[in-house]
Amino acid sequence: TSRPHLSNRAVIIVNYKFYGSPEPLEPRSGAKREADKLFKALSKLNYAVKLHYDQEGKEIEEIYRQESREEHGDCFVSILSSHGEEGAIYDCRGEPVKLTRIFQMLSPQSCPVLAGKPKIFFIQRQLYSFIAVLERQIGAGGSVMHPIHKHLHNQKYQVHL
């Protein structure tokens, strides 16, 4: 008897509205539309895709905890899109969720079904609000921060293999 072919799986988490954040975070216009396009593209590639919007930290962790218990095909794709900072994305309340925590949940020790299989993470963090906070905190005004903003803004995508 042959084993049935398992679908490759993908998770897309997009936070585009933010509530109750200590520092006001701008809504991410266009993020939902981008997520819908990613969902359609991955679905056409026969991925079993789960799309989640505006999740709190504990919900994000639970999504990955559930994925660690699922049967997987040859690989796993994760797309996280939110405001963020170095090493973290923000949940829908503006609280940081450490990326290392997510990676650990899908490690071979925590997720044996994905051991030896590629796990591809696309992380888009919008850093503009973080720079605006820095501008207010140090009182430097717009002109000093623009070169840094430009540099960080172009660093939107990271791939972790």
Q: How many residues does the chain have?
A: 161
Average pLDDT over residues 37-45: 95
Domain annotation covers residue 52: yes
Domain annotation covers residue 2: no
Boundaries of domain holding 103: 9-126
- The answer to whether residue 2 scores a pLDDT higher than 80 is no
Domain annotation covers residue 43: yes
CA dihedral 14→16→21→22, nearest 10 degrees, is 100
Residue 129: predicted pLDDT:
44
Domain annotation covers residue 154: no
Most confident of 4-13, 77-86, 130-139, 144-153: 77-86
Domain annotation covers residue 139: no
Residue 29: predicted pLDDT:
86
* Spatial distance between the Cα atoms of 9 and 68, rounded to a whole number of angstroms: 11
Domain annotation covers residue 68: yes
pTM score of the predicted model: 0.77
Q: 13 and 39 in contact (C-beta within 8 Å)? A: no
- For the chain, the domain total comes to 1
Residue 17 buriedness (CB in 10 A; 0-12 / 13-18 / 19+): middle
More confident residue, 149 or 49: 49
More confident residue, 112 or 157: 112
- The answer to whether residue 14 scores a pLDDT higher than 50 is yes
User: What CATH code is carried by the domain that includes residue 20?
Assistant: 3.40.50.1460
Q: 91 and 85 in contact (C-beta within 8 Å)? A: no
- The answer to whether residue 150 scores a pLDDT higher than 70 is no
Which pLDDT tens digit goes with each residue over 98-136? 999 999 999 999 999 999 999 999 999 876 444 444 444
DSSP 127-161: -HHHHHHHHHHHT--HHHHHHHHHHHHT--EEEE-
